[in-house]
Amino acid sequence: MAKLYFYFSSMNAGKSTTLLQADFNYRERGMRTMLWSAALDTRGDGMIRSRIGLEAPAHLYAPETDLWTAIGAAHRAEPIHCVLVDEAQFLTDAQVWQLARLADEAGIPVLCYGIRTDFQGALFPGSAALLGIADALVELKAVCHCGRKATMNLRVDAAGAAVQQGEQTEIGGNDRYLALCRRHFTEALGR
């Protein structure tokens, strides 16, 4: 039976690397995969890229993308053995349910990878939906500068100071975010 998986972590835990390795494993066995990433993340330019240099082309989804229809049509044309979704925190609630339907009705395993919380410690909508309905939850580990498990994402400005207010989503990498343990996240925000 196919399942909906959610692999989550703070930033810099290797989510994209893990996704690309899973994709490679399926393809090495002659199976067809379909990769998706958020159109909102313009750094990717239609590619899923890991910080260690691995990359693969991906379909892009926006909030209005009907994943059930798009993936279903491709699956009918040529069977898909696994769907892999990067930046899953940007999925809508409806899209998460569409992915669950692909697992339940089409029998396609769906592996979603994303961060759980934003720079204020609040859940992203896609992550909240996945935490609620995924068949399997897998936490990937990142490391804080103190050596503890990093579970939080601190947004910083150009000078490296903690940012406390702003839009939930601001695309960036190591120049804008630090993965921290909860203790150091709390201290940085002065909570």
- Residues catalogued as catalytic: 87
Element containing residue 127 per DSSP (H, E): helix 125-133
For the chain, helix (H) and strand (E) counts, in that order, are 5, 12
Residue with tokens 């979603």: 112
How far is it, in rounded angstroms, from Cα 17 to Cα 83?
15
For residue 49, report the phi and psi dihedrals to the nearest 5 degrees.
-125, 135
Q: Are 93 and 125 in contact (CB under 8 A)?
A: yes
How far is residue 2 from each of residues 13, 46, 99, measured CA to CA in Å? 25, 27, 11
Contacts of 138 (CB under 8 A, 6+ apart): 5, 6, 7, 8
8 Å CB contact between 90 and 126: yes
Paired tokens of 87: 């930046």
Joined tokens for residue 1: 């039976």
